[in-house]
Amino acid sequence: LLHMSVFSQSFSPCGRFLAAGNNYGEIALFLSAALSPDATTANQKPVLTFTHEGPVFSLLSTDSVLLSAGNGEVSAWNWTELIKKSSLEIPEINSMAINQDDSLAIGAGDNNVHILDLEHGAFKLQGHTDYVHCVCVREREAELLSGSEDGAVRMWCRTGQSVHCIEVHKYESCARPQHGKWISCLTTDSDWMQLCGGGPSLSLWHLRSLSPTSVFPLSGCQRRAAFHQDMILAVGDGAFVSHCLLGGEVKGQIPCTPPSLNTLQLNTKSSEHRVLTVGGGSSKIDVFTNLSYRA
């Protein structure tokens, strides 16, 4: 347990279960009772633990299956059975996203974004020159965004063409040359893109003008982020969740158990258990029933 790191999380379609994956290739399934402030020690134990080949860098839930990915394998676990899986040979998989047409976008270690479609098979989006760390979908425009070790954020249209390329580290307000140029995660909200990386500062961008509007004064690498109401939640280096206002101000930093954080997940699928969970360099997953303090 001392050397365990939680890399990924995903809530079930019904919002009653939380799946979490670690560096040992274990996926643990927790009941929603474990997320309650008055949960007992017994309730906080996983109801099921199953094994994925290699570390679980990314988890993603669809209406019917839980997808897990890591070193060279995507596994699909039926939510009702959790015993059937299918695999695809792709180098290390760092991120997954579901497109509007239900195809699966994968950011991989071979510098490509892979698109998997049950009807049309698999194809690659080529353009990055190094590891693809993260992918996300801009639903309104049916566009896919990808971030890479090469420092670029690419926007892909429905035809698979790279329509825009933003090199974030070349913007003086975002650049941190002492940390490098890589992009570790992306998330979108209609016209906005918020991105963060081991190199460039956490920043908010306007996608129509392709320009940064706010840069957040956070130190270290921010590995995951999410829009929540009128705020941005971010985690990374440091034992805290940062609450950032869209204008660029850091409103607060809420302490967590792990010394650093790799994953952040909001449960928006259940009104009864609308919580935030975070995990990282620890065997513990912190649960926030109120975003201002840990339960």
In this model, does residue 291 exceed pLDDT 90? no
Mean pLDDT of the chain: 88
Q: For residue 271, is it within any domain?
A: yes
Domain count along the chain:
1
CA–CA distance, 165 with 112 (Å, rounded to integer):
14
Query: Is 51 a domain residue?
Result: no
Q: What are phi and psi of 34, to 5 degrees?
A: -70, -15
What pLDDT is stored for residue 85 in this prediction? 45
Any domain includes 6: no
Domain-located, residue 127: yes
Helix (H, G, I), strand (E, B) or coil at 248: coil
pLDDT for 240:
96
The pLDDT-based confidence of 88 (bands split at 50, 70, 90) is low
**Residue 20 placed within a domain:** no
Asked if the model's pLDDT at residue 165 lies above 90, the reply is yes
Kindly state whether residue 98 falls inside one of the protein's structural domains.
yes
Query: Among 56-60, 194-198, 241-245, whose mean pLDDT is lowest?
Result: 194-198
Q: Which residues contact 242 (CB under 8 A, 6 or more apart)?
A: 216, 218, 222, 233, 234, 235, 250, 252, 253
- Does residue 52 fall inside a structural domain? no
CB under 8 Å to 135, separation ≥6 — which residues?
95, 96, 97, 105, 106, 107, 113, 144, 145, 146, 147, 186
- Output the pTM of the full model: 0.79
Residue 275 within any structural domain of the chain: yes
Helices assigned H by DSSP within the chain: none
Q: What is the pLDDT of residues 103-148, one digit of tens each?
A: 899 999 999 999 987 666 678 899 999 999 999 998 888 899 999 9
User: What range defines the domain where residue 103 resides?
Assistant: 80-288
Looking at residue 163, which CATH number applies to its domain?
Answer: 2.130.10.10
Residue 15, pLDDT above cutoff 50: yes
Rounded to whole angstroms, how far apart are CA atoms 174 and 277?
Answer: 28
